[in-house]
Homo-oligomer: A and B are copies of this chain.
């Protein structure tokens, strides 16, 4: 019965993502879900060996990369992503039992959520004061505790706390999605599927052109970069870590080449290769022909 931490409390989208991973057969045996107060707290539980893995959000199609997750992966002992899943993100506005939208004077919302429902709030609750909550589920807890009239939360959190759904399916941006990853101690990557994602963090020397060089190592090999994100090193203004995601797997010949090439001139942290949750989101990069051709040359075959 593996213990898996998640960014809680109960009722968050992250818990739904964990449930989705469980349903997909990611784990052997029933999972014991352990709520953590933050993304970094969940990952620290992995580092300390208290849990077998942690599920955390990593990117939102609206808000971009989830910085606390990025930073917690980039610093501290190396961890590794083993799986991912995506959720459509639409919010439920929860209120006390019997309340209506007209009663709402104060709304609690997790800041990441606020960005995604601001227009809806402007149209439907123009006079309500919006206050920050600690998480999406936390917004519902705040309502249950009497700290606000309504919360921008999840259906699951509202149900568990016996709250009323004042509105559901609330989302300013159609098709908004969030991606979640399962993180564990380093280990062999899941087997290559042909539709995989690989992620690294680069600590580049502060040399003009070094990022161009890093990206060129992917571009010249025809490997698509799917995400590029800079994060400050927090040591000196204008110095950055770079998070790069590409299609492909460490066992794809060209991806392996690109990783080795990066290793030659930069400090590379490998965050894993794992199956993409999006059908067709990756691209196989066969190099069998090239290798066979090279071997024919090495053997000295005339027809090569």
Q: A residues within 8 Å of B by Cβ?
A: 59-64, 67, 77-78, 80, 86, 111, 131-134, 173, 175-177, 179, 185-189, 208-209, 211-213, 215-217, 219-222, 224-232, 234-238, 240, 250-251, 256-257, 259-261, 263-264, 270, 278, 281, 287, 289-291, 293-294, 297-302, 304
B302 touches A186 (CB 8 A): yes
B78 touches A293 (CB 8 A): no
A237 touches B304 (CB 8 A): no
Chain B: minimal CB distance from A88 (Å): 11
**How many copies of the chain does the oligomer comprise?**
4
Given that A60-B232, A215-B215, A228-B228 are known contacts, is A260 also in contact with B298, CB under 8 Å in the complex? no
What is the bound-complex CA distance between A228 and B229, given in angstroms? 8
In order of increasing CB-CB distance, the 3 nearest A-B pairs are: A132-B132, A187-B300, A260-B290
What is the bound-complex CA distance between A270 and B304, given in angstroms? 8
Main secondary structure of the interface of A (DSSP, over half): mixed
Q: A111-B132, A186-B300 are in contact. List 17 more A-B contacts (CB 8 A).
A: A60-B232, A62-B232, A64-B67, A86-B237, A132-B132, A173-B235, A175-B236, A179-B237, A189-B298, A208-B224, A209-B219, A211-B225, A212-B212, A222-B264, A250-B294, A261-B290, A263-B294
- Measured between beta carbons, the chain B residues less than 8 angstroms from A86 are 237
Choose among B220, B228, B290 the residue that contacts A263 (Cβ–Cβ < 8 A).
B290
Selected A-B contacts with CB under 8 Å, 24 pairs:
A60-B232, A61-B236, A63-B67, A64-B232, A78-B304, A111-B132, A131-B132, A131-B134, A132-B133, A179-B237, A185-B302, A186-B300, A186-B302, A189-B300, A212-B219, A220-B261, A222-B264, A227-B240, A230-B230, A250-B294, A250-B297, A251-B298, A257-B257, A263-B294
What is the bound-complex CA distance between A209 and B222, given in angstroms? 9
